[in-house]
Structure 1
Amino acid sequence: MNRLFNTNYNHRGLDFVLLILRISIAGLMLSHGIPKLEMLLAGGEIKFMDPIGLGDTATLALAVFAEVICSVLILLGLAVRLAVLPLMITMLIAIFVAHGDEGLSEKELAIHYLLTYIVLLFAGGGRLSIDSLISQKSAKSRRGY
C-alpha cells in the first residue's frame, strides 16, 4: 500500500515507459504517414491541404517528413527532442487549421499526439534509446576512457 502513494521516481520504470511510449506513438503515427508517403511516390496528381501556401506537393512532402522520417527517429530513440518538433507543428496545423472549425471530437486525436510529443520533448528518449548510447559514449570520451 505504501508503494501506491510513493512519489519517488523509479528511473528504470520511467525509462521503460518512455521506450513503450516512443515505440507506440511512432508506430501509430507511421500508420498515418505511410499512406501519405505512398501518395507522394505514386506520381499522380496530388490533392493535399496547403495551409501555408507552399503548394500541395511541398506540403505533402513536409507531412511525410514529419510523420514518417521523424517517427522512425523517435522509434529508434535518435534525436528525439528534435524529431518531435516537426510532429508538434504538424499536430498544431491539424488542430487549428485542418480541423479548426470542427468540434473537439475531430481534434481529439491530434491533441493526444501533441500532448505525447510534448512529454517526449521534455523527457527525451530515456536510457533505452540511441540518444542515451551517444550521450554515454561522449561522456566517456570527455573523461579520456
Structure 2
Amino acid sequence: MSQHFFSPQRKIWFEPGIAMIRIITGLLMAYHGFEIFDGNKMLDYARWLTDLHFPNPALMAYLGKGAELISGVCITLGLFTRLAVWPMMLTMLGIAFGMGHGKIYYEDQHPFLFVLIGLFLFFNGPGKYSLDQYFYGNR
C-alpha cells in the first residue's frame, strides 16, 4: 500500500484534484476581479497606484481588475485555460513586485502563490473536467 502511495508515478485522484484546484483558483481570482464594479474601491486602487508612481494609475487599476475577472471566469470554466493563466500571472507578479516589495516568502506570498498555481495549470492543462477538454480534447 505505502509503495503505491509514495510512488511519484502513481496519480491519486488526479483529474478531480486538477478540477478542484482550477475551479477554486478561478473563483478566487474572479472574486477579486469583481471589485471592478465598485467605484470607491477602484478610486482607492487608483490613488494607491498614484502613490506608487504607476503610469496612468486609473487605467492600470481597471486593467488589473479586468484581467483578474476575465481570467478568473475562464479558469473556473476551464476555457482557454493555458491562455487565461497569463493575465492572472502577470497581474499577480505586478502586485507582488510592483505594488508589493517582492517578499514572496512572506508579505507578498498571496499573489505569488497565484503565479505558481497559474504555472501549474499552464504546464498540466485544465484537466478532463473542463470546457477546453469538451471543445478541444480528443473525441
- TM-score scaled by length of structure 2: 0.81
Query: Which sections of structure 2, spanning at least 5 residues, go unmatched?
Result: none
Paired position in structure 1 for 2:94: 93
> SS in structure 2 opposite 1:105?
coil
Asked whether the equivalents of residues 104 and 112 of structure 2 are also in contact (C-alpha less than 8 Å), the reply is no
- Quick one: distance in 2 between partners of 1:118 and 1:103? 16
2:127 match: secondary structure: coil
Structure 1, gaps ≥5 residues long: 141-145
Any idea what the Cα deviations from partners look like across 1:81-112, whole Å, max 9, x if unmatched? 10010111111111111112668422110111
Instruction: String of CA shifts for 1:34-55, please: whole Å, max 9, x gaps.
Output: 2233238989xx53516652x1
Query: Of the two, which has the highest radius of gyration?
Result: 1
Q: Identity of counterpart residues, as a percentage?
A: 26
Match of 1:32 in 2: 32
Residues 16 and 52 from structure 1, CA distance in 2 versus in 1: closer, same or farther, beyond 3 angstroms?
same
Q: Which consecutive aligned stretches of 4+ in structure 1 deviate over 6 angstroms post-superposition?
A: 40-43
Aligned residues: 136
Structure 2 Cα separation of the partners of residues 103 and 134 of structure 1: 36
Match of 1:132 in 2: 133
RMSD, aligned CA: 2.9
| Structure 1 residue 69: Cα displacement | 0.9
